[in-house]
Amino acid sequence: MIRRLIPSMFHRRLLLLLVVVVAVASMLGLRLAKLTLIEGDARRERAESVLIQRRLIPTTRGRILDRKQRVLAEDQASYDVCVRYPVLTGEWAYKQARRAAYRANRAAWQQLHTTQRDALIADYQRGFDQQAEQLWLAISGLGSVDAHELDSRRTTIVRRVKQIASDVWVRRLHRRSEELDEPVSLADVAQPIGEQTRFHPVLTAVSQDTRIAVTRLIAQAADHPDLAVWKQVQVRPSRRRSYPLETATVPVDRSSLPGPLRNDKPADVLVEGLGLHLLGGLRGVWKEDVDRRPYRRRITGEPDVVDLGGYLPGDQLGSWGIERSQEDRLRGTRGQVAHHLDTSEQERLEPVAGHDVVLSIDLRLQSRIRAVIDPSIGLMKVQPWQSKGPPTDPLMPQPGDPLNGAAVVLDVRTGEVLAAVSMPAMSLRRMRDDPALVWGDAVEQPYLYRVVAQPYQPGSTVKPIVLAAAITEGRLASGNFAAQVTCEGHLDPDAPTRFRCWIYKMYNSTHGPLGGAEAIARSCNIFFYTMGRRLGPRTLARWYDQMGLGRPTGCGLAEEVVGDLPDWRDPSHNTAGLTASDGIFMAIGQGPVRWTPLQAANAYAALARGGRYRPATFLLGGNDSDRPATTEDADRLAPAGVAMALEGLDQAANERYGSAHHLSRLRGERIFNVEGIKVLAKSGTAQGVPHWVDENGDRRFTPGTDTIVRRGDHAWVACMVQTPGSTQPNYVVVVVVEYGGSGGAVAGPVANQILHAMRAEGYL
């Protein structure tokens, strides 16, 4: 066909050549179109990036302030002494020795046996090793750091970098294996990573004298071969996180303490770690942090996306507390200087500092409370007048032992936390000097912010909620139920050893007929056992949920736990999961219910508002309105129920028969002795779960393997404070003392001193 159309062989060959040329031109055209139209922007950016040098400008982390604008945490300019990674590992000395040996024996190097080369290298290495040793001795002396501590820092850096390198190499290995579809060895992908060539800080926030001395030695290294190792050292400007009010000396007025501790002379208490549980701290970035917000995000076929606020190796971020929960707000955005090599022009983008975070906490009030509960004052020690005598159980706190616990002060109107203290405390000094005493103490757990992270059984402090719920549900003073319940010492006549009242167990006595308010004041278990039986566990759990149990308070801390509360929304739990006995125990704050001190304070604040719940918060202005109502929140406690509960709290604190009125073993001293205010209070003694150490790490108690280290009853006091002229309580104060025993005798005096502290700071 083609021969007939094109008889000439020459023309046929010419046509074939033309077709080949067109095909090649088409392929080149398509490739050119792809490079210019599809990949043009990305390739242009890569080409331009070669001609641009970029330098990042560090940003400043936002400050943390208290409600009175006191600075609690801020970035301060400082200097770090950094050493290149090969010096940290010892690899620098070997490389320098090998280079020196080669230069001295260059002509014969190839003919030398490996053992001969190694011997030559070892001869030279002794000198370089000595240089490195002198370097570490000098840094130790200039930085006033113990040699063992400096060695520990080096080891930590090397271990961290090796872990990063291992992770990177494993990812490379998997990616290369998938690309080639054949096995790939680790040696094929184990190229050095950036961290293995960079400088790493071994001294942070050094003094001006140290900075000058190190800089001088670095400069001398250029002219003195015996100081060559100092070329591997840098002094870099940096920023350190400072907590300027973390330590303070606080005067304590002891004139209003219980008799045995009373003294007209004030005591000065050194407080360390002030607010540190709440403020938090910083740590280095982890892989998951970089994955969550990388500095550079690579997208196939598109220009790299750079986030100047993203994380790079060596960055720090919040580890716990407010520093962690407000990380995105506190973290600023880096600046950048772009230097164009072709035009010598510079483009500068200024860094943007992080936002300040203002807390609802009053640090002065916090410091006074922290000083009051210091064991040196005596309120948080086991005192002889708090119990009948030394406990027979050696695992219970003994006379003179320090006690742990927490205290919360909450503003009823706003839900703002004015103070929240946890004992034992931790401090920056202890974290620096002996971190194992802070993070490794499984018995005292100083790292635990008990205010939000430790739930306890509430004991009798829930009784006002139970009374208000019973009246709201029509289980008291309505229908077929009488307005009074008669305490006969035990709930069931046929089982006198079960469900007994505390007065029956201690004194073989009874309370007799009681109304709701008097039942709270006298803390009668039989009255509330009866309410628990009438309400049932599911209804009782629903009302506990209404008051914030079993849910986060919304306070703004990631460490917050929600405690324990049965799932009342599942009807099957009323028969399969819960029993009538559970409801009876729940009505006195035992059984399957636990709350944190902050949840307790928030529940009492809701009661003070007439049953209206709203989130608690550590952030000033972070709680401007009531929580939006849900189906479950549509019902609120009846005003009559709230009124009777408040009347019971009033009697408990102000009537002689009240359980929060006096200290019986101190000739009837009043628990609350602040004049001119109205105090409504409820004490509670809750049977605590034994504290055990998880020896095998399975998070379950295993008899014979795990160790019980402490047991006993937790001491509670929850009180409302009403100032003159107010129509409702203004503040709520909650105190819990772990394994402290009697709520009124142990936690009551602590709460009273908190009220004195509030008066000293102008709140009362």
Are residues 22 and 157 both part of a single domain?
Answer: no
Judge whether 559 lies within some domain. Answer: yes
End-to-end CA gap in the chain: 111
Structural domain boundaries, residue 28: 2-38
How much is the pLDDT for 3?
A: 64
Same domain, 18 and 80: no
Q: According to the model, what pLDDT value does residue 490 have?
A: 85
Residue 60 maps to a domain: no
The pLDDT value recorded for residue 94 is: 92
Q: Considering its fold, how many domains does the chain have in total? A: 3
Residue 625 has pLDDT above 50, yes or no: no
Q: What are the structure tokens assigned to 671, written together? A: 């628990």
Contact 86, 79 (CB under 8 A): no
User: Is 277 part of a structural domain of the chain?
Assistant: no
Look at residue 632 in the predicted model and tell me its pLDDT: 43
Mean pLDDT to the nearest integer, 642-661? 94
> At 382, which CATH number?
3.40.710.10
Query: Are 24 and 125 in the same domain?
Result: no
Cβ–Cβ < 8 Å for 354, 334: no
Q: Is the pLDDT of residue 238 over 90?
A: no
pLDDT above 50 (res 626): no
In order, the DSSP letters of 263-291 are -SS-EEEEE-STTHHHH-EEEE--HHHHH
Higher-confidence residue of 257 and 192: namely 257
Answer yes or no: is 554 within a domain: yes
Average pLDDT over residues 658-673: 91
Domain co-membership, 601 together with 511:
yes
486 with 381, same domain: the answer is yes
Lowest mean per-residue pLDDT among 170-184, 453-467, 601-615: 170-184
The stretch 561-575 carries a mean pLDDT of: 75
Check whether residue 666 and residue 545 sit in a common domain.
yes
- How much is the average pLDDT of 662-680? 93
Would you call 484 exposed, middle or buried from its count of C-beta atoms within 10 A (0-12, 13-18, 19+)? middle
C-beta of residue 680 within 8 angstroms of C-beta of residue 713: no
Write down the pTM of the prediction: 0.80
333 within domain boundaries: no
End-of-domain residue from the set 244, 276, 306: 244
DSSP string computed for 238-270: EEEEE-TTSSEEEEE--TTS-GGG--SS-EEEE
313 falls within a domain? no
Q: State how far the Cα of 371 lies from the Cα of 366, in Å rounded to an integer.
A: 9
pLDDT attached to residue 578: 81
Same domain for 535 and 658?
A: yes
Are 509 and 614 in the same domain?
yes
Handedness of CA 9, 14, 15, 21 (dihedral sign): positive
Q: 377 and 240 in one domain?
A: no
Contacting residues for 201 by C-beta, under 8 A, at least 6 apart? 80, 81, 82, 236, 238
Tens digit of each residue's pLDDT (9 = 90 or more) over 282-295: 988 888 888 889 88
Give the mean pLDDT of 454-482.
86
Indicate if 16 and 123 belong to the same structural domain: no
Residues 26 and 80 grouped into a single domain: no
* Residue at 716 is within a domain: yes
Which of 225, 244, 263 is the last residue before a domain boundary?
244
Indicate whether 143 and 90 sit together in one domain: yes
The average pLDDT across 212-232 equals: 91
Band of residue 624 on the pLDDT scale cut at 50, 70, 90: very low
pLDDT at 539 (0 to 100): 93
Across the chain, mean pLDDT equals 87
pLDDT at 237: 82
Share of the chain above pLDDT 90, in %: 54
Q: pLDDT tens digits for 30-66? A: 776 665 666 656 556 555 555 677 778 889 999 999 9
- Domain membership of residue 351 (yes or no) is no
Structure tokens at 68: 């009175």
4-8, 227-231, 344-348, 478-482: range with lowest mean pLDDT: 478-482
